[in-house]
Structure 1
Amino acid sequence: MTSVQTLPGNQLTRLVFDDMPVRGLHVSLAGVWQHIVGNKDYPTAIRHALGELTAAAVLLASNLKFDGSLILQVQGKGVLKMLVAEATSAHTCRATARWDEQAVIDEHTGLRDLLGEGGMFVMTLQPQNGEPWQGVVALEGDTIAQMLMDYMARSEQLDTHISLAANEHSAGGLLLQRLPEQEIAANAWADVATLAQTVTAAELTDLSAHTVLYRLFHQTPPRVFEPQTIEFACTCSRGKVSDMLLLLGGQEVGEAVAEQGSIDISCDFCHAHYVFDETDVNTLFGMDVVRAAKDEAQKQLSH
C-alpha cells in the first residue's frame, strides 16, 4: 500500500504567457524535501544534486499525458553511484542516492567530479497501464539543469529553460518551454530565457512562486494558476519485496535465512523495514527452502 505524507510548503505552480507561446512551471519543496533528506546523512554536494533532481522530476512529471510516474536517474562510477528521483501524475515524489559512504566529499564538488568518467542519464516513463519507455544517454553538462536541457533539446527538440536549486531546507525549480508549432516574435524566446537565467539559487529555495515570477517578469507578467500540492509518497510494500525474493529463487533465499535466521530488507526511499523469517520464506515458496539449504550445507561439509 502506498504511503503518502502531506507536508507543509510543497507547491507546483503553472504559468503561461498570454502574449507568446511559452508555458512554465515553478516548484517549491520544503517539508517533502526535509522528509527525504531526513532519511539519510547525505554529504552536502550529493544532497544539493539530489534536491535539484527531485525538483526536476516534479516539474517534468507535471506534463505527463498519462497516469503513472516519471523516474530520473543519474549513474556514475565515481564516489557518487546513483541519484534517483521519482514523481507521479498524482503529484507525489520520492528520491534517494547511493554513494561511497567511506569517501570524504568536499561540499563544493561538482556533479561531473562526483560521478567520475562514464556518467549516464536515464529517464523512464512508467504508465499505470502499458509498457514503460526508457531513454539512456551519456551525461552532458556540469549540472542537473544543464544535463536536462541538453536531453530535452535532443529528444523533444523544444526550446527549454530549467533552473534548479537545493539546500538542506528546501528544493526548487523553474521550467519554461516554448510551445511547439506556434509562431513566436523574433527574439521573444531569447528575452524570456535570458530573464529566467537571472534567477538565483536563494530565490528558488527561499521565495514563493509569485515573488520569483514578479521579480523575473514584471514587465511582461505571465498568467499564474492556482498551485497544486506535492506530497511525499513511497510505493514500497511487503508484496513487492516478496516478488523480489521470488526472483532471487528459493535456493539463494533459503541459504540466506539458514545462515542469518531471517532476511531484513530496508527501503532506500523511506527506510521501511521488511523482515522475512523461516516461516515467511517457506510459505512464500510453498516448500521448506530453509531446510533444503541446511541439508545441502550439511552435505557439502560431509564431503
Structure 2
Amino acid sequence: MASRDQFQRFIFEDSQVRGAWVQLGESFQEIGSQAPYPDSVRGLLGEALVASVLMSSTLKFEGTLSLQAQGEGPLRTLMAECSHDRYIRGLARFDEHAVSEENLHDMLGEGRMAITITPNKGNRYQGVVPREENSLAGCLEEYFERSEQIATSLILFADEHSAAGLLLQRMPGTTEQDDDLWERVNHLARTVEASELLELDSETILHRLFHEETVRLFEPETVAFRCSCSRERTLGALEAIGKDECYSILDEQGQIDMDCQFCHAHYRFDRNDIDHLFTGHTLH
C-alpha cells in the first residue's frame, strides 16, 4: 500500500539535478470536503495543492508559498498554500452551472495567476505566472524558466481520492554530463502514468523511472491539512476593513460574524470586541 500524505526530496548523485515527490491522501480529501467540488475543479485543486508543496520545497525560508488564480471563466478562484513545515490548505470558487472538463485556460478564462511567498521574517514577494500553457504544470514550468531561470519539470495528477506529483530541476552550474542526465531523466519522468504516481510509494516509483541512475532519497516528511486562521488574525482583517465600516456593521446587525473560507471556522465579535480593537479598551 502506498504511503499517503508524504513529501520526499531526492537527488541524482554527483550532479546538479534534484527532485521532489509528494503524495496527498487524507489531507486532500479533507480540503476537498469543504465544498461540493465538481470533478474538474477538485482535480485542479488537487494539482495546485501538490504544486504548492513541491514549489515550497525549493525555497530556504520559514513561511508560506501560495498559488493563486483569479479568472472570469467557470472557475473564479483557485488557491493552494503550503508552509515550510508542510501544512497545506486550499480552496476553489466556481460557477456550478458552467464548470466543464476542459483545460486550464477554458476553466479560468481571462485572468491572473500568481505565486506569493510570505516569509515569517522579511518582505513578501509575488511573481506572475504566465498563462500561455493549457495545463497548470505547463504554466508553472514557464514561471520557473522565466522568473527563476531554472529548468524545471512538473508532473501533477489528481483524482477523486488523492493527488500526487514529481518535480525535477536542473540547477545552475551544470556540466555537459548534467545536461545529458537532465534530458534522460526528464524524458523518463514524462512516461509515468497517473495510476503509478497516485498509488505507488516513492521508492517504487523512483526505481521504476530511474533504476539506471544513482538516486539518493532523503527522509520523508509528513504533509497535513491545517488552517492558519485564528480569532486574532480575523480581528486583524477587521482592523484592515476600518473602524467606520466595522461600527456600521455593528449598528446594522448588532454583531460581526465571519467564517473562514478554508475551514469554515466561525468567529463572532460584539461591540466590546470592536471597541477594544480600535481603542485598546471597552467603551460600552
Alpha-carbon distance in 2 for matches of 1:30, 1:184: 39
Equivalent residue, structure 2, for 1:63: 58
Residues 287 and 124 (structure 1), Cα distance of their counterparts in 2 relative to 1, 3 Å cut: closer
Tell me, yes or no, if structure 1 residue 25 matches structure 2 residue 20: yes
Secondary structure of the structure 2 residue equivalent to 1:105: coil
The AA in structure 1 aligned to 2:59 is L
Alpha-carbon distance in 1 for matches of 2:242, 2:149: 44
Is 2:9–2:218's contact at 8 Å kept on the other side of the alignment?
yes
Equivalent residue, structure 2, for 1:49: 44
Equivalent residue, structure 2, for 1:77: 72
Alpha-carbon distance in 1 for matches of 2:59, 2:233: 25
Secondary structure of the structure 1 residue equivalent to 2:123: coil
Shift, 1:129, TM fit: 0.7
Equivalent residue, structure 2, for 1:246: 239
Secondary structure of the structure 2 residue equivalent to 1:71: strand
**1:177 pairs with one of 166, 169, 173:** 169
Gaps (5+ residues) in structure 2? Answer: none
Residues 138 and 161 (structure 1), Cα distance of their counterparts in 2 relative to 1, 3 Å cut: closer
Equivalent residue, structure 2, for 1:261: 254
**2:209 pairs with one of 212, 216, 224:** 216
Alpha-carbon distance in 1 for matches of 2:72, 2:29: 27
Equivalent residue, structure 2, for 1:15: 10
TM-score norm. by structure 2 comes to: 0.92
Tell me, yes or no, if structure 1 residue 132 matches structure 2 residue 99: no
Alpha-carbon distance in 2 for matches of 1:15, 1:237: 35
Shift, 1:58, TM fit: 0.4
Which range moves more in the overlay, 149-158 or 181-190? Answer: 181-190
Equivalent residue, structure 2, for 1:228: 221
TM-score norm. by structure 1 comes to: 0.86
Is 1:58–1:91's contact at 8 Å kept on the other side of the alignment?
yes
Equivalent residue, structure 2, for 1:187: 180
Shift, 1:279, TM fit: 3.3
Tell me, yes or no, if structure 1 residue 276 matches structure 2 residue 269: yes
Q: Which has the larger radius of gyration?
A: 1
The AA in structure 2 aligned to 1:143 is S
Gaps (5+ residues) in structure 1? Answer: 1-7, 292-303
Tell me, yes or no, if structure 1 residue 158 matches structure 2 residue 150: yes
CA-to-aligned-CA distance 1:99-134 (integer Å, 9 cap, x gap): 224x2423x2221111112x3221111111111111
Pairs aligned (count): 281
CA-to-aligned-CA distance 1:213-243 (integer Å, 9 cap, x gap): 1221122252212211112221111111111
Shift, 1:71, TM fit: 1.1
Residues 59 and 138 (structure 1), Cα distance of their counterparts in 2 relative to 1, 3 Å cut: closer
Alpha-carbon distance in 2 for matches of 1:184, 1:21: 11
Is 2:65–2:116's contact at 8 Å kept on the other side of the alignment?
yes
Is 1:254–1:290's contact at 8 Å kept on the other side of the alignment?
no
The AA in structure 2 aligned to 1:105 is V
Is 1:258–1:290's contact at 8 Å kept on the other side of the alignment?
no
Equivalent residue, structure 1, for 2:196: 203
Alpha-carbon distance in 2 for matches of 1:138, 1:16: 28
Secondary structure of the structure 1 residue equivalent to 2:262: coil
CA RMSD in angstroms, aligned pairs only? 2.1
The AA in structure 2 aligned to 1:99 is F
Residues 287 and 223 (structure 1), Cα distance of their counterparts in 2 relative to 1, 3 Å cut: closer
Alpha-carbon distance in 1 for matches of 2:54, 2:173: 22
Shift, 1:138, TM fit: 3.8
The AA in structure 1 aligned to 2:43 is H
Shift, 1:252, TM fit: 1.6
Alpha-carbon distance in 1 for matches of 2:212, 2:250: 66
Shift, 1:287, TM fit: 9.7
Shift, 1:141, TM fit: 0.8
Alpha-carbon distance in 2 for matches of 1:56, 1:149: 11
Is 1:66–1:127's contact at 8 Å kept on the other side of the alignment?
yes
Residues 290 and 269 (structure 1), Cα distance of their counterparts in 2 relative to 1, 3 Å cut: farther
